[in-house]
Amino acid sequence: MKLFRKIPHTYSILFCLIIIAAFLTWIVPAGQYETVEVDGRMVVDPGGFSYVESNPQGPTDILKSIPQGADEIAWIIIFIIFIGASIYVIQSTGAIDAGMKRLVKKLKGREYIVIIVAMLICALGGATYGAAEENIALMLIFVPLALSLGYDSITGAALGLVGMGVGFATALFNPFTVGVAQGIAGIPLFSGALLRFFFFIVQVVIAIVFVVKYANKVKKNPKASPMYEIDQKRKLNLNMNEEFTTRHKLALATLIITFILLPIGMAKLGWWINELVGLFLGMAIIGGLLGGLSLNEVFENFVEGAKQMTYAAVIVAFARGILVILRDGAILDTIIMGLSVPLQSMPSHLTAVGMMFIQTFVNLFIPSGSGQAAVTMPILAPLSDLVGITRQTAVLAYQIGDGFSNIFWPTSGYFIGALGVAGIPWDKWAKWILPLMGLFYIVNVIFMMIAVSIGYGPF
């Protein structure tokens, strides 16, 4: 009997990765870095690594890792279900379909403008206040929007995932990556912004050009899309004959106001999961009533929307299970130590590039910007002193390695959740984005070389 009769399901891929992670705990020695408190933050002591008693993970650990992962990442699961259900309520009023019909009519022949504007806004959000999780909600808007414009669902997903991903990675003033890493490395907050600004411009231009070219290709030949068959079924569900009534405008206005309040609340008011879920729930109730639904109909549609989010919500638990196995098996620190040792004997330019690729690999196991900074920067910052490159360059290597791979590795919680909401299998996304990732990393290497050559500082 064949394990896979066709391309593996995303859940199958993640479950196999959990098994591989468990296997590694039997062959990789367990190790641990000591942690110390620095400015109220727990970070690793680079000289405090020691081998510890092994804790290999068996079949029961594999099965338990998924519910444990769900428990640890419950906030994302709640976020996906409530946000998806809330937007479904607005969609059930007909406001979104009617609004898209109006937009398609106005932009006929100039649909690419939507791609450029949406990606620019998303990139700025990622670069300034670290927008990322917002992608989960945006998929419910961007994917049907792209389909209504004659593109495919990958184009819709790319508006948010690639747009925000590039902004998050180039990290002009990203507090969750550059802010944390610079604090650990002991360099001034948000220093070195000029190089990051040029880095941002170059990578955003590459991203937009790539997505626009792809979008135009699938618009001319829909069968060129890897999502063609799935998207054909979706397009049948789009009601492009809906008239844009006053009730539609009111319902759509609540959706727009919600997306305006979202970044303001997160950046200025410290909102997080409770406030964000409350915001969208309020949007569903008010927008649904204004859109012509009764209160019963609002919650009937809310429940239906929640059902449709199950695939996307549960997939996050599978992704987290990989980290649970590696952490409980005590091999994460051993892997990081083993990766950092060869860098000490390399030329400075190669060391900087090596740091970047190590951070990319580590992000597979620690898909958290601030968490990865706390683990790796205390090791790479003093290492940069030893090999003759600036700590600012080490921070750049970290932000690149963490940021760009967030929209590729299936262990990234918000990313795999957003793909689930968009209904795009990870393997199809990975195949599509690999050429773009290649372009990104060519530019990444060039900027790492520039950073070493100019003594990117202040130190």
At 359 the pLDDT is: 93
At 129 the pLDDT is: 83
At 295 the pLDDT is: 95
Say which amino acid occupies 368: S
Look at residue 380 and tell me whether its pLDDT is greater than 90: no
Look at residue 67 and tell me whether its pLDDT is greater than 60: yes
pLDDT digits (tens, 9 = 90+) for 224-255: 999 999 898 887 666 666 678 899 999 999 99
At 238 the pLDDT is: 62
At 267 the pLDDT is: 74
| pTM for the full predicted model | 0.85
Q: What is d(CA 376, CA 392) in angstroms, rounded to the nearest whole number?
A: 14
Look at residue 190 and tell me whether its pLDDT is greater than 70: yes
pLDDT digits (tens, 9 = 90+) for 80-135: 899 889 999 998 998 888 888 888 788 888 889 999 999 999 999 999 888 888 88
DSSP alpha helix (H) spans, 109-245: 112-129, 135-148, 153-170, 180-185, 193-220, 228-237
Segment 374-397 shows an average pLDDT of: 88
At 20 the pLDDT is: 94
Residue 32's DSSP bridge partners are 50
Q: What is d(CA 432, CA 152) in angstroms, rounded to the nearest whole number?
A: 12
pLDDT digits (tens, 9 = 90+) for 393-407: 999 999 999 999 999
At 239 the pLDDT is: 62
At 4 the pLDDT is: 43
State the average pLDDT for the chain.
89
Task: Answer yes or no: are the C-beta atoms of 397 and 356 closer than 8 Å.
Answer: yes
Say which amino acid occupies 450: I
Look at residue 45 and tell me whether its pLDDT is greater than 60: yes
Among all chains, which residue has been given the structure tokens 């060869």? 342
> What percentage of the chain reaches a pLDDT higher than 70?
95
What is the token pair recorded at 55?
Answer: 């804790």
Look at residue 256 and tell me whether its pLDDT is greater than 60: yes
Look at residue 172 and tell me whether its pLDDT is greater than 60: yes
Report the SS3 class of residue 227: coil
Where are the chain's structural domains? Answer: 10-16+30-46+61-454
Cα distances (angstroms) measured from residue 152 to each of 95, 133, 400: 21, 22, 28
